[in-house]
Amino acid sequence: MFILLALLPVFISSHTWVLIIIALVYYPIWAIVAYRFFKYIKSKIAVTIKAINIDKQGVHFYKKDNSITHILYSQLEQSYLSDQYDVYLKQLNKTYHLAVRANGSETRVVFDGTDYGSMYYITNARALRARFIEGIVRFRPDLKVDPFIFKEFCIDPNHFTFDRKRYIKHIVKAALIISLLILFSTLLAWLITLV
């Protein structure tokens, strides 16, 4: 794709003088767009989370630029956005994230830390999420946690551990549904070709 975009003026011009005119306009614009794109990727890499630590105070996100972001249990407040629960799920791009009210504003707590161009991957995000919810339940019993969080993130509500059996059961169910859809569509296509 990159090579096709680089050679686009060659493909659309029939004469040499047309190629020169198009290239004088096209390549500077292309260079500016590429520069801004790489600058954007570099800025995303700078705020990439490379480590997450959870202790008695809260969760600490260590970023690549050596800054640390904290969400402390003492900063958590009762939520006005959710009707019944103070710790709830918020959907963003078909993915659920933990949402809490901290320091007067809604804060999404994301434990994967992956962005485009990221060199780091948090491998124990599920365990970290369970540990954070355990900290909320133990250190802030006044806050209500949505029970759907335990179901969605496969967390055992009694032991606050990642429930691997429930997670694998979700994966198997999804695989079966996808397999049945593929089988049904293949069978349907085969029946249509017979008619």
From first to last of its 195 residues, the chain has per-residue pLDDT tens of: 667 777 777 777 778 887 788 888 888 888 888 889 888 877 766 667 778 899 999 999 888 778 888 999 999 988 776 678 889 888 887 788 888 988 888 888 887 755 555 566 677 888 888 999 999 999 999 989 999 999 888 898 888 888 888 889 989 999 999 999 999 999 998 888 887
Cβ of 109: how many Cβ atoms within 10 Å?
A: 20
CA distance 121 to 114: 6
CA distance 113 to 116: 10
Name the DSSP letter for residue 66. S
